[in-house]
Homo-oligomer: A and B are copies of this chain.
Amino acid sequence: MLSKKAKYAIKALLALADREGEEPMRIADLAREEQIPPKFLELILLGLRNNGILQSRKGKGGGYRLARDPADIYLGQIVRMFDGPLAPVPCASQTAYVRCADCRNEAECGVRLAMKEVRDATARILDGTSLAALHDRVEQVTARRMRGILSD
Protein backbone atom coordinates (compact mmCIF):
# COMPACT_ATOMS: atom_id res chain seq x y z
CA MET A 1 0.00 0.00 0.00
CA LEU A 2 1.14 3.49 -0.86
CA SER A 3 0.84 5.73 2.17
CA LYS A 4 -1.14 8.94 1.98
CA LYS A 5 2.10 10.78 2.58
CA ALA A 6 3.71 9.39 -0.53
CA LYS A 7 0.55 9.86 -2.51
CA TYR A 8 0.13 13.48 -1.43
CA ALA A 9 3.81 14.08 -2.06
CA ILE A 10 3.55 12.95 -5.66
CA LYS A 11 0.39 14.97 -6.21
CA ALA A 12 2.04 18.06 -4.77
CA LEU A 13 5.18 17.58 -6.83
CA LEU A 14 3.14 17.22 -10.01
CA ALA A 15 1.35 20.45 -9.22
CA LEU A 16 4.66 22.18 -8.60
CA ALA A 17 6.11 20.75 -11.80
CA ASP A 18 3.19 22.36 -13.56
CA ARG A 19 4.26 25.74 -12.17
CA GLU A 20 7.93 25.54 -13.03
CA GLY A 21 9.62 28.93 -13.29
CA GLU A 22 6.67 30.71 -11.75
CA GLU A 23 6.25 32.16 -8.28
CA PRO A 24 6.63 29.74 -5.36
CA MET A 25 3.43 28.16 -4.15
CA ARG A 26 2.06 28.43 -0.65
CA ILE A 27 1.15 25.41 1.43
CA ALA A 28 -2.41 26.64 1.83
CA ASP A 29 -2.97 27.06 -1.90
CA LEU A 30 -1.42 23.74 -2.75
CA ALA A 31 -3.50 22.07 -0.07
CA ARG A 32 -6.73 23.55 -1.35
CA GLU A 33 -5.98 22.74 -4.96
CA GLU A 34 -5.01 19.14 -4.28
CA GLN A 35 -7.54 18.48 -1.51
CA ILE A 36 -4.94 17.71 1.12
CA PRO A 37 -5.21 18.58 4.85
CA PRO A 38 -2.98 21.67 5.08
CA LYS A 39 -1.15 20.78 8.26
CA PHE A 40 -0.48 17.31 6.94
CA LEU A 41 0.80 18.66 3.67
CA GLU A 42 3.07 20.98 5.59
CA LEU A 43 4.81 17.98 7.11
CA ILE A 44 5.19 16.33 3.74
CA LEU A 45 6.63 19.36 2.01
CA LEU A 46 9.07 19.81 4.83
CA GLY A 47 10.25 16.27 4.31
CA LEU A 48 10.70 16.86 0.60
CA ARG A 49 12.64 20.02 1.33
CA ASN A 50 14.94 18.30 3.80
CA ASN A 51 15.68 15.74 1.14
CA GLY A 52 16.66 18.30 -1.42
CA ILE A 53 13.62 17.86 -3.63
CA LEU A 54 12.04 21.20 -2.80
CA GLN A 55 13.20 24.73 -2.14
CA SER A 56 11.36 27.02 0.23
CA ARG A 57 11.10 30.73 0.84
CA LYS A 58 9.70 32.34 3.95
CA GLY A 59 7.74 35.53 4.37
CA LYS A 60 5.51 37.35 1.94
CA GLY A 61 5.68 35.96 -1.57
CA GLY A 62 7.16 32.81 -0.10
CA GLY A 63 6.25 29.18 -0.57
CA TYR A 64 7.67 26.06 -2.20
CA ARG A 65 9.17 25.29 -5.57
CA LEU A 66 11.09 22.41 -7.08
CA ALA A 67 14.76 22.40 -6.14
CA ARG A 68 15.81 20.51 -9.24
CA ASP A 69 14.85 19.66 -12.77
CA PRO A 70 11.73 17.46 -12.69
CA ALA A 71 13.50 15.20 -15.17
CA ASP A 72 15.93 14.36 -12.38
CA ILE A 73 13.32 13.55 -9.76
CA TYR A 74 12.24 9.93 -9.78
CA LEU A 75 9.16 8.41 -8.20
CA GLY A 76 11.30 5.71 -6.61
CA GLN A 77 13.07 8.25 -4.45
CA ILE A 78 9.82 9.83 -3.31
CA VAL A 79 8.14 6.56 -2.45
CA ARG A 80 11.16 5.19 -0.60
CA MET A 81 11.46 8.43 1.31
CA PHE A 82 8.02 8.14 2.83
CA ASP A 83 7.24 4.43 2.69
CA GLY A 84 10.64 2.80 2.94
CA PRO A 85 11.96 0.09 0.63
CA LEU A 86 9.95 -1.01 -2.40
CA ALA A 87 10.37 -4.73 -1.76
CA PRO A 88 7.33 -6.46 -0.23
CA VAL A 89 9.70 -8.28 2.08
CA PRO A 90 12.92 -6.94 3.67
CA CYS A 91 14.99 -9.89 2.48
CA ALA A 92 14.16 -9.02 -1.12
CA SER A 93 15.21 -5.40 -0.82
CA GLN A 94 18.12 -4.05 -2.77
CA THR A 95 18.50 -0.77 -0.92
CA ALA A 96 17.60 -1.95 2.58
CA TYR A 97 18.27 -5.66 2.82
CA VAL A 98 17.43 -7.32 6.13
CA ARG A 99 17.60 -11.03 6.72
CA CYS A 100 14.44 -12.85 7.84
CA ALA A 101 14.60 -14.25 11.35
CA ASP A 102 12.65 -17.31 10.25
CA CYS A 103 14.48 -18.62 7.22
CA ARG A 104 16.69 -21.64 7.18
CA ASN A 105 18.42 -21.06 3.87
CA GLU A 106 17.60 -17.89 2.06
CA ALA A 107 18.73 -19.10 -1.35
CA GLU A 108 15.99 -21.71 -1.33
CA CYS A 109 13.19 -19.47 -0.07
CA GLY A 110 10.26 -19.39 -2.46
CA VAL A 111 8.75 -16.30 -0.93
CA ARG A 112 11.96 -14.41 -1.46
CA LEU A 113 12.26 -15.66 -5.02
CA ALA A 114 8.80 -14.45 -5.96
CA MET A 115 9.01 -11.20 -4.04
CA LYS A 116 12.34 -10.33 -5.58
CA GLU A 117 10.61 -10.39 -8.94
CA VAL A 118 7.91 -8.08 -7.65
CA ARG A 119 10.41 -5.68 -6.19
CA ASP A 120 12.45 -5.64 -9.42
CA ALA A 121 9.38 -4.93 -11.51
CA THR A 122 8.27 -2.18 -9.15
CA ALA A 123 11.72 -0.62 -9.08
CA ARG A 124 11.95 -0.73 -12.85
CA ILE A 125 8.78 1.32 -13.05
CA LEU A 126 9.25 3.76 -10.20
CA ASP A 127 12.97 4.35 -10.68
CA GLY A 128 12.35 4.67 -14.38
CA THR A 129 9.64 7.28 -14.16
CA SER A 130 10.69 10.87 -13.61
CA LEU A 131 8.40 13.60 -12.40
CA ALA A 132 8.78 15.24 -15.80
CA ALA A 133 7.81 12.07 -17.63
CA LEU A 134 4.76 11.54 -15.48
CA HIS A 135 3.75 15.15 -15.83
CA ASP A 136 4.01 14.83 -19.60
CA ARG A 137 1.82 11.77 -19.61
CA VAL A 138 -0.83 13.60 -17.64
CA GLU A 139 -0.59 16.54 -20.02
CA GLN A 140 -1.12 14.24 -22.97
CA VAL A 141 -4.25 12.78 -21.43
CA THR A 142 -5.52 16.25 -20.68
CA ALA A 143 -4.85 17.43 -24.23
CA ARG A 144 -6.61 14.44 -25.70
CA ARG A 145 -9.62 15.07 -23.51
CA MET A 146 -9.71 18.75 -24.45
CA ARG A 147 -9.76 17.87 -28.12
CA GLY A 148 -12.56 15.47 -27.39
CA ILE A 149 -14.63 18.16 -25.74
CA LEU A 150 -13.98 20.66 -28.52
CA SER A 151 -15.09 18.23 -31.18
CA ASP A 152 -18.39 17.54 -29.43
Chain A interface main SS type:
helix
Given contacts A102-B36, A114-B134, contact A108 B141 (CB under 8 A): yes
Seen from chain A, the residues whose Cβ lies within 8 Å of a Cβ on chain B are 1-2, 7, 10-11, 14, 34-36, 75, 88-89, 101-104, 107-111, 113-115, 117-118, 121-122, 124-126, 129, 134-135, 137-138, 141-142, 145
Q: Which residue of B lies closest to A142 (CB)?
A: B108
Given pairs A14-B111, A110-B134, A118-B126, 14 additional interface contacts (CB within 8 A) = A2-B89, A11-B110, A35-B103, A35-B104, A108-B141, A113-B134, A113-B141, A114-B125, A114-B126, A114-B134, A117-B125, A117-B129, A118-B121, A121-B124
Count identical subunits in the complex.
2
Q: Which residue of B lies closest to A137 (CB)?
A: B113
Residues of B within 8 A of A89 (CB): 1-2, 7
Residues of B within 8 A of A135 (CB): 110
**Least Cβ–Cβ distance between A76 and chain B, in angstroms:** 10
Residues of B within 8 A of A109 (CB): 11, 138
**Least Cβ–Cβ distance between A78 and chain B, in angstroms:** 10
